[in-house]
Copies of this chain bind each other. A is one copy, B any other.
């Protein structure tokens, strides 16, 4: 019922260029199922399926040679392909989420003017997510908490510019310290208002900081000694006080 398609039609559907299809034909990665008498390429349904697979693996960073090897490996069934794709995607997503956490952490560090070691800055770039499918189950169980850990363990980044930002941060820090020494409880209305101001400053200056992320930051203030030290230097006990205020404020807002 559905007839063959020309290069141009296939290119339009798959959103690749005609040249790309020519290239795939040249290197034998995707040869059309047939040709017209005049030599025009005619792509069949099965060719489209293969093209989709090719694009999928390509998007995940595989070379065309590798893709050919993957797709032409007779020992893996289509089912197995889908399973692999699912795994690869999750590995890639995890990796990007680590990067996102690293960026969030970097914003915090930049805001507070904390210096990070060179090694730390590149920690997150190391992982070769590409080969993760060969170690299948190994990281299946280690991964979800690795991602949670990365929120507080992987610190990085520093830069100029915080002239103004830092001033605002310092002003807020002063208000926290004042509240602390005045004996105001972190879970009081005033304490939570200050936590909310903290969250608001991050949102204004950097990124949309929801209560979940804010909790993560609070945990980090206690887990990462550089952050703890920064707050303790302002006023002894401030790291714990701010942590408690943020948690209380978050619970008051999203209730968990």
Partner-B contacts on A (CB < 8 A): 2, 5, 13-15, 45, 48-49, 52, 55-56, 59, 77-79, 82-83, 85-86, 89-90, 92-93, 96-97, 99-100, 103-104, 106-107, 110, 118-119, 121-122, 125-126, 156-161, 165, 205-207
Given A13-B118, A14-B122, A52-B157, also A82-B99 (CB < 8 A): no
The answer to whether A103 and B82 touch across the interface, beta carbons within 8 angstroms, is yes
In the complex, what residues of B have CB within 8 A of residue A205's CB? Answer: 79
The answer to whether A78 and B121 touch across the interface, beta carbons within 8 angstroms, is no
The answer to whether A15 and B126 touch across the interface, beta carbons within 8 angstroms, is yes
Given A15-B125, A89-B99, A93-B93, also A78-B207 (CB < 8 A): no
In the complex, what residues of B have CB within 8 A of residue A86's CB? Answer: 100, 103-104, 107, 206-207
30 A-B contact pairs sorted by A residue (CB < 8 Å): A2-B118, A13-B119, A13-B122, A14-B125, A15-B125, A48-B121, A49-B121, A49-B157, A52-B121, A52-B125, A52-B157, A55-B125, A56-B99, A59-B99, A77-B161, A78-B160, A78-B161, A79-B107, A79-B161, A79-B206, A82-B103, A82-B106, A82-B107, A82-B206, A83-B206, A86-B104, A86-B206, A92-B96, A93-B93, A93-B97
Instruction: Indicate which residue in B45, B93, B159 contacts A96 across the interface (CB closer than 8 Å).
Output: B93
Instruction: Indicate which residue in B5, B100, B156 contacts A90 across the interface (CB closer than 8 Å).
Output: B100
How long is the Cα–Cα vector from A82 to B96 in the complex, in angstroms?
15
Give min CB distance, A216 to chain B, whole Å: 14
Instruction: Indicate which residue in B13, B15, B110 contacts A78 across the interface (CB closer than 8 Å).
Output: B110
Give min CB distance, A214 to chain B, whole Å: 15
The answer to whether A49 and B159 touch across the interface, beta carbons within 8 angstroms, is yes
Give min CB distance, A144 to chain B, whole Å: 12
Give min CB distance, A96 to chain B, whole Å: 5
Instruction: Indicate which residue in B89, B90, B122 contacts A52 across the interface (CB closer than 8 Å).
Output: B122
Give min CB distance, A56 to chain B, whole Å: 7
